[in-house]
Structure 1
Amino acid sequence: METSPTGTVRQLIREHYAQLTNSERKFAQALLDDYPGAGIASITAAAANAGVSTPTVARMVQKLGFKGYPAFHAALLSELQAKVSGPEARRAVWASEAPESHLLNRFAEAVTQNLRQTFTNIDAAQFDAAAKRLASTEGRLYVVGGRITRSLAEYAFTHFQAIRARVTHLTSSSATWPHYVLDMEEGDTLLIFDIRRYEDNLQRLAEIAAARGMHVILITDQWSSPIASVAEHAFNCWVEIPSAWDSNISTLSLVEALVAAAQEERWPDARERFERLDQLFELTRLFRKP
């Protein structure tokens, strides 16, 4: 299969979208609207469901870099399997192909590759727009994560709260979220983390926020959470490592990049806020002097 070495089918469509004809774009949009289900069917059924011809589908998948529809179909099935795989299945994948080198070397190589792929696939304009939104105090910023990503959400909250006012960290218990939703308004921003296995409660929260006119910023993995369909900005982070668990290193690096960009966006107001925060730390004597 001749594909981009770093792209999922969704990302390949985005990369090659400008090269597609109108009919090919029609199929591409149908696939994105029901991803990856619309492409799991046979080429005849997939074309009919999208209202295009079979040759149109065949030409589009070749433009994405696939030799033919079977390879395209197999790639979507592989993505679907990756989305639903648990820790045991993930370990089996890398363990069967693990080189003889030490785990530390394999881990370092995987993490480095994840970082490279993550930052290579970030659109600079989207990043700048998201950072500007996160820095803006015209609306309140809400931050939330899931079972694994709640630590990332807390990390992001701690830094954004130091940079700007009006930041709220939603608790890990979804039963309390209606209390936060009660105060959410049009123009507010929701920074949400969701990686495989994707969480239904996070998706519902994002849908409610989007319906209220909020700006939803999603940080997810390379397979992309369903929340991407309602997100104003969605960032994909590569997470696979030689482990039964996914890595948060590239995700954390993206968070730190967004924090740094938001800080610059608010400078010198952020500097003045940092100084006042240090004064409060001094008054409360929370930290030992060097």
Structure 2
Amino acid sequence: MKDHLDLSTYKQLAEKLQPFTESELILHSFIVNHFEELSYYGIIDLAQKVQISKATIGRYLNKLGYTGYAAFKNALKRDLIAHTMIAPIDANKAKTANQSTDTKTEAQRYISNVSQLIEQFNYDLNMVDLEKLAKIVADKSRTIYVVGPASSHALAIHFSTLLKYSRSDVILLPLDKGELPKALLGVSDKDVLIAFSYYRFNPVVLSITKYFNSKNAHVTVVTNTHSNPYSIYSDIQYVLPSDVDSIFHSRTIGFLFVELLLFLVQNASKDDDNFEELEELFKFFGTFSSLEFK
């Protein structure tokens, strides 16, 4: 039994078990395709996702050399700890110790890194999933719920604000547990949750994704790491590149993703949108003009 289990080691162990039974092949494929998020799965979650029994999972793990699911999950967690993102405070200390004084060089390096993120995003983007999501979000029979904690809140605000130009039923969820239940009244299986969460994971957002999943609503998660607890409850997950060799991970691709999705939603909505009505409301309240206050 390996105490520290990464994907390469798992594949080596699994290779020795072939040929697989039909159930083992399904389980093996799921483990390979979702390896970085497995440490967040309980055995019941895994059994439901793969559609096989807990007993079958247990027998397979025994063949791999693990005494049970707990031992397997513990080995996964050890690998997760070894690859945890560096916290900003540690990144700041490292940056301070090796900081360049040439501002122009540093600025150009940073911009170049962001350009590489855009290229990577373009290369990795699943257009089929994106088209599907745009059609779901454009469907006005659904209510769109949006949430984002901490620095991801800016992405959630940007998305929910501009989406209201295309449709009306858009709800930006609060993270206040006293207000949240009222905002979730009436959630149905036709509704959609878009959850933004970069770097650190919020337990309230995790509960929200779990709640929407329990209602059989559609859940899309936008994050910057494959290893996250939300994926268990999501239908679609977008893992966006963010590493620019800086103290903070870049949200640039997050905003690019939001604006690309909004663009596709507007195309899917045709001319049926709220632009004229919103402009009339802005004029009525003098929202953006100081002349109204004279």
- TM-score normalised by length of structure 2: 0.71
- Which structure's CA Rg is the greater one? 2
User: What is the alpha-carbon root mean square deviation over aligned residues?
Assistant: 3.5
C-alpha distance in structure 1 between counterparts of 2:286 and 2:133, whole Å: 35
1:200 matches 2:203: yes
Deviation at 1:144, TM superposition (A): 0.6
C-alpha distance in structure 2 between counterparts of 1:187 and 1:199, whole Å: 25
Deviation at 1:289, TM superposition (A): 9.6
Q: Say which SS state the counterpart of residue 148 (structure 1) adopts.
A: helix
Deviation at 1:214, TM superposition (A): 0.9
Deviation at 1:274, TM superposition (A): 0.8
Q: Which residue of 1 aligns with 2:155?
A: 152
Q: Which residue of 1 aligns with 2:123?
A: 120
C-alpha distance in structure 2 between counterparts of 1:124 and 1:84, whole Å: 28
| 142, 164, 169: which one aligns with 1:166 | 169
Deviation at 1:96, TM superposition (A): 7.9
- Do 2:175 and 2:205's aligned partners in 1 also have CA atoms closer than 8 Å? no
Q: Which residue of 2 aligns with 1:285?
A: 286
Name the amino acid aligned to 2:283: E
C-alpha distance in structure 2 between counterparts of 1:97 and 1:123, whole Å: 38
- Map 1:1-290 to 2 at 5 A: 26-30=27-31, 32=34, 35=37, 37=39, 50=61, 77=79, 80-91=81-92, 102-270=105-273, 273-288=274-289
Name the amino acid aligned to 1:29: F
Deviation at 1:205, TM superposition (A): 0.9
- Do 1:95 and 1:242's aligned partners in 2 also have CA atoms closer than 8 Å? no
- Do 2:36 and 2:226's aligned partners in 1 also have CA atoms closer than 8 Å? no
TM-aligned CA distance change 1:138 to 1:198, over 3 Å = same
Deviation at 1:181, TM superposition (A): 2.2
**Bigger Cα displacement from structure 2, 93-102 vs 136-145:** 93-102
C-alpha distance in structure 2 between counterparts of 1:261 and 1:159, whole Å: 13
C-alpha distance in structure 2 between counterparts of 1:263 and 1:254, whole Å: 14
**Deviation digits for residues 123-148 of structure 1, max 9, x if unmatched?**
11100111111111112111110111
TM-aligned CA distance change 1:154 to 1:185, over 3 Å = same
- What are the ranges of 5 or more consecutive residues in structure 1 without an aligned counterpart? 1-7, 14-20, 39-46, 55-72
Q: Say which SS state the counterpart of residue 186 (structure 1) adopts.
A: coil
Q: Say which SS state the counterpart of residue 164 (structure 2) adopts.
A: helix
How many equivalent residue pairs?
245
C-alpha distance in structure 1 between counterparts of 2:282 and 2:252, whole Å: 29
Q: Say which SS state the counterpart of residue 125 (structure 2) adopts.
A: coil
Q: Say which SS state the counterpart of residue 108 (structure 2) adopts.
A: helix
Name the amino acid aligned to 2:149: G
C-alpha distance in structure 1 between counterparts of 2:94 and 2:137, whole Å: 37
C-alpha distance in structure 2 between counterparts of 1:104 and 1:34, whole Å: 33
Identity of aligned residues (%): 17
- What are the ranges of 5 or more consecutive residues in structure 2 without an aligned counterpart? 1-5, 12-19, 41-57, 66-74
C-alpha distance in structure 2 between counterparts of 1:249 and 1:194, whole Å: 14
C-alpha distance in structure 1 between counterparts of 2:173 and 2:282, whole Å: 24
Name the amino acid aligned to 1:50: L
- Do 2:113 and 2:244's aligned partners in 1 also have CA atoms closer than 8 Å? yes
TM-aligned CA distance change 1:285 to 1:213, over 3 Å = same
Deviation at 1:34, TM superposition (A): 7.4
- Do 1:209 and 1:216's aligned partners in 2 also have CA atoms closer than 8 Å? yes
Deviation at 1:28, TM superposition (A): 4.1
Deviation at 1:182, TM superposition (A): 2.5
C-alpha distance in structure 2 between counterparts of 1:96 and 1:126, whole Å: 43
